[in-house]
Amino acid sequence: MRNPLQEQLLKAGLVKKSAVAQAVREQAKRRQGKGKPADGAEPQVDAQRLQAERAERDRALAAERNAQARANELRAQVRQIVEAHRIERRGEIEYRFVDGNVIRSVLVDAAQRTQLASGALAIARHGEGFELVPRAAADKIAERDPAMLVLDHGRTDSAASGDSEDDAYYSRFKVPDDLIW
More confident: 181 or 49: 49
**C-alpha closest to that of 105 among 87, 117, 123:** 123
- Measured CA to CA in angstroms, residue 105 lies from 62, 74, 113, 165, 173 at distances of 42, 26, 12, 30, 27
> Do 90 and 171 sit in the same domain of this protein?
yes
Distance CA 135, CA 120 (A): 5
> Do 131 and 102 sit in the same domain of this protein?
yes
The C-alpha torsion from 138 through 140 and 143 to 148, rounded to 10°, is: -50
**What per-residue confidence (pLDDT) applies to 160?**
47
Q: What is the mean pLDDT of residues 7-17?
A: 86
Distance CA 138, CA 81 (A): 9
pLDDT band at 158; cut points 50, 70, 90: very low
**What per-residue confidence (pLDDT) applies to 61?**
94
> Do 46 and 1 sit in the same domain of this protein?
no
Q: What is the mean pLDDT of residues 147-162?
A: 68
The 10s digit of each residue's pLDDT in 126-150 is 888 899 999 999 999 988 888 888 8
> Do 19 and 57 sit in the same domain of this protein?
no
Owning domain of residue 107: 37-181
> Do 73 and 101 sit in the same domain of this protein?
yes
Count of the separate structural domains present in the chain = 2
